Amino acid sequence: MNFIKQICNDLHVLRRVIPIEYVKIESYLANESAEKLINFLIVAEDHRYKYHIGFDLIAIFRSILKYIFYDKKEGASTIEQQLVRVVICDYRYNICRKIKEIILACYVKSVFEKKHIALIYLNIAYYGTKYQSLDAILGKYDLTKENVLENRVCAEIVARLKYPEPLICSAHRNIQIEMRVKHILYMYDKYSRNKFFLI
């Protein structure tokens, strides 16, 4: 019963917060840089984004297999799930949280457009200690939402979703970010050549 109540409470939060956040990104939707950032987000975090209903069964199954056979933890969260997590501020690592996140992600997908979901997530995501929004991380590069973004900058921004930048960035974290940037640029180039982007 407590689990159902928690879902209802979080659903109320999503219904209240997401429309407010949509208003903040509405004028940015038609921007070419927004489109590019969304595509970088998709190749880096959720390349089956346009095909699933809020959760990715293939990614979940693969993650379970890797944990069983290799004792390796791998993320399987979709962009919808990541948005839910950020909005409701629930970062606990347990099965109940994951199930709740999937249910709420399906709701988000059923009510909001995919492009809007991705851009809202990018706008409110955590990129590091000093970079707790898209405006903040763009400021790191002396850019705003009005600027044209180079591929490298898009990759660096999206890389910090997986490896947020701490206040004092260690050599190890810098290497993690750089390797992630290279991987994202490679994936973006690969999908661009295959004309993958339709969102």
Write down the pTM of the prediction: 0.91
Which domains, ranges and CATH numbers included, belong to the chain? 2-193 (1.10.3810.10)
pLDDT tens for residues 94-133? 888 889 999 999 999 999 999 999 999 999 999 999 999 9
Q: Is the pLDDT of residue 196 over 70?
A: no
Give the model confidence (pLDDT) of 21-62 as tens digits: 999 999 998 898 999 999 999 999 998 888 888 887 777 778
> What whole-number distance in Å separates Cα of residue 57 and Cα of residue 76?
9
Res 165 pLDDT > 90: yes
pLDDT tens per residue, range 125-153? 999 999 999 999 999 999 999 999 999 99
Spatial distance between the Cα atoms of 166 and 176, rounded to a whole number of angstroms: 12
Helices (H) and strands (E) in the chain, counts: 9, 0
Which residue's structure tokens are 């991705």?
Answer: 118
Q: Give residue 198's pLDDT.
A: 53
Question: Is pLDDT of 199 > 60?
Answer: no
Neighbours of 119 (CB within 10 A): 25
Average pLDDT over residues 70-94: 86
CA distance 163 to 127: 8
Q: Are 118 and 130 in contact (CB under 8 A)?
A: no
Q: How close are the terminal C-alpha atoms of the chain, in Å?
A: 38
Give 63's pLDDT tier (boundaries 50, 70, 90): confident
Of 5-9, 47-51, 76-80, 171-175, which one has max mean pLDDT? 171-175
Q: What is the pLDDT of residue 119?
A: 97
In the block, which residue shows the tokens 């990104």? 25
pLDDT confidence band for 69 (50 / 70 / 90): confident
